Amino acid sequence: MAPRIDKPDPGPEPIKEVLARLFAARGWGRRQGRLHLERAWSDAVGSDYDAQTRVLGLKRGIFEIEVASAVLVQELLHYHNRRILKALREKLPGQTIKELRFKVGKF
């Protein structure tokens, strides 16, 4: 019979690893990320446009927003695009935001 090798008890698992698995399993990380984007958008556009827009997401540097009307898309794109981009980049320093993409939708 081969001698038995006792492995030492690894000890308690670090809480950050437990929480990371829990957040991933429950999808909380995505929700937190989305809330962070929504807050940054709301601050960047202000109350005048916040109620008429909705953040769709940030993918590959493109910040996508759903807007209530085509007229509002034109206004945001032509008159406020640079200001909003600058504000978003300041509020989301860890994210790369290359452009804003607006889409007319219903909400």
- On whether the CB atoms of residues 38 and 27 are closer than 8 A, the answer is no
Domains of the chain and any CATH numbers: 15-104 (3.30.300.180)
Quick: pLDDT tens for 85-104. 999 999 999 899 999 999 99
Q: What tokens appear for 26 in the block? A: 């429950």
> Which pTM was predicted?
0.70
Residue appearing with tokens 């910040």: 63
Q: What is the pLDDT of residue 87?
A: 97
Quick: pLDDT tens for 37-93. 999 999 999 988 999 999 999 999 999 999 999 999 999 999 999 999 999 999 999
Candidates 99, 85, 94; CA nearest to 44 is 85
Q: How far apart are CA 102 and CA 64, in angstroms?
A: 6
- On whether the CB atoms of residues 107 and 55 are closer than 8 A, the answer is no
Q: What angle do CA 21, 26, 56 make, to 5 degrees?
A: 120
- Judged against a pLDDT cut of 80, whether residue 1 lies above it is answered with no
Residue appearing with tokens 């209530």: 68
Q: How far apart are CA 34 and CA 31, in angstroms?
A: 5
Q: How far apart are CA 39 and CA 91, in angstroms?
A: 9
